[in-house]
Amino acid sequence: MLTDKARAVYQFIVRYTHEHGYPPTIREVGTEFGFKSTNGTRYHLTQLAKAGYVKERAKGKSRAIVPVADLHGKDMDFVSERPERLGHGLRRAALLPKSEGIPILGRVAAGVPLLAEENIEGHMALDDLFPSNRDLFALRVHGQSMRDRGILDGDLVVVRKQEHARDGDDVVAVLGEDATVKTFRRTEDAVELIPANPDFETLRVTEGDDFRVAGVVVGLIRPMGPARRG
């Protein structure tokens, strides 16, 4: 039987993995619960491991705590190719533990807005290029509206999560349930999302529109050859 504290630790690990795209470190678990040393965290992780709720992957890495079961004992199959078996709140986390890095969350439109479904396609281990990846994610571009900014169909844009942008920033903008990458510009009465291709029109967002900035583009990765379209 798990103690109430062990259950709370497990719930924190699942929640953290869902919110950040990767599991917490032992030190981050300890900070959350006020444990004075890593031994306190390891005690509860040992309980969870023995009960089959977590396991460790990638020995020697700091983020190796992987949840594998819910608190009712059902196998969550966190490396399954059948994520539909998982509860909604854990579905995204289910595909994360295979490797560390920046999660690729699907596609984003660089033409007309396109639904950006947060189905994780894989991970990019880019620690050398982006040593602080805590607030980063990646999206695959679909379309040619940002061609003249060097962002092409099939590219991966690396995005820093933030809700504000400056004029001239390339941003991932969410309009309703759709997402697009454009250059941000604010006017007196609106926000303009500007393409970098004369074949596409500027999107104008005014007060009352369902709009938000999901992040600012900080990098670009261009796969070559057969791997380009993934």
Looking at residue 87, what is its pLDDT? 33
Residue 112 has pLDDT above 70, yes or no: no
Concerning whether 182 is annotated as a catalytic residue, the answer is: yes
Percent of the chain exceeding pLDDT 90 equals 26
Average per-residue pLDDT in the chain? 75
Of residues 101, 18, 13, 16, the one with CA closest to residue 65: 13
Residue 132 annotated in active site = no
Strand partners, 66: 55
Separation CA 114–CA 161 (nearest Å) = 19
Tell me if 108 sits within 8 A of 153, measured CB to CB.
no
Percent of the residues in the chain that have a pLDDT greater than 70, as a whole number:
66
Burial class (CB in 10 A: 0-12, 13-18, 19+), 150: exposed
d(CA 221, CA 191): 27
pLDDT value for 41 = 87
The separation between CA 22 and the C-alpha centre of its own chain, rounded to angstroms, equals 8
Q: Give pTM, 2 decimals.
A: 0.50
The owner of tokens 């059948």 is 82
Among 17-21, 98-102, 173-177, name the one with the lowest average pLDDT: 98-102
For tokens 């992780």, what's the residue? 45
